[in-house]
């Protein structure tokens, strides 16, 4: 049986960006990136989560950070030139991005938002991010992700 492609995978194929697809069991409802890393057998520091935020200006921003870390809201605000930033409310995620909590990818959102990837990604050859569906991930180079998402790199996390 052929593997089901997500829109993220189709986008990567279209742009001829190499990636490795992954699928894992989420029947227990545990959706965090650290658990995903364990289930996929990848190092937790290479499995990233996608967070959507709102700035004081009411603009939205996407941050891609290691699953084991927290977004430093002050550093994130500085990285995008905002006075302050707050996490987007979960109910706002689907209408804004087209993704649900646990399946949000930095690629293929309804609208492209300014995206920042944590600077720690620059030190690794590959990173794993959501493929846009719960239980699906893709591994690709941080530079390829940044290029396709129009993302910049900045130190935006704390442990």
pLDDT tens per residue across span 70-89: 999 999 999 999 999 999 99
User: pLDDT tens across 13-43, in order?
Assistant: 999 999 999 999 999 999 899 999 999 999 9
Question: pTM of whole model > 0.75?
Answer: yes
What confidence score (pLDDT) does residue 135 get? 94
- Percentage of residues of the chain with pLDDT beyond 70: 98
Cα four-point dihedral sign 64, 111, 9, 105: positive
Q: What angle do CA 132, 149, 24 make, to 5 degrees?
A: 25
**1 — pLDDT class (breaks 50, 70, 90):** very low
Strands 157-158 vs 70-71: parallel, antiparallel or unpaired: antiparallel
């Amino acid at each position: 049986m052929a593997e089901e492609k997500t829109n993220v995978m189709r986008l990567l194929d279209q742009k001829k960006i190499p990636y490795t697809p992954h699928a894992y069991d989420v029947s227990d409802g545990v959706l965090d990136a650290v658990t995903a890393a364990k289930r996929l057998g990848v190092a937790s520091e290479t499995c990233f989560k996608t967070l959507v935020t709102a700035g004081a200006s009411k603009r939205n921003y996407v941050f891609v950070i290691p699953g084991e870390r927290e977004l430093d809201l002050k550093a994130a605000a500085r990285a995008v030139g905002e006075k302050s930033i707050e996490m987007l409310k979960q109910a706002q995620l689907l209408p804004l991005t087209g993704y649900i909590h646990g399946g949000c990818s930095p690629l293929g959102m309804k609208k492209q938002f300014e995206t920042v990837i944590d600077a720690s990604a620059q030190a690794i050859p590959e990173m794993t991010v959501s493929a846009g569906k719960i239980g699906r991930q893709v591994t690709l180079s941080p530079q390829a992700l940044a290029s396709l998402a129009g993302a910049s790199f900045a130190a935006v996390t704390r442990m």
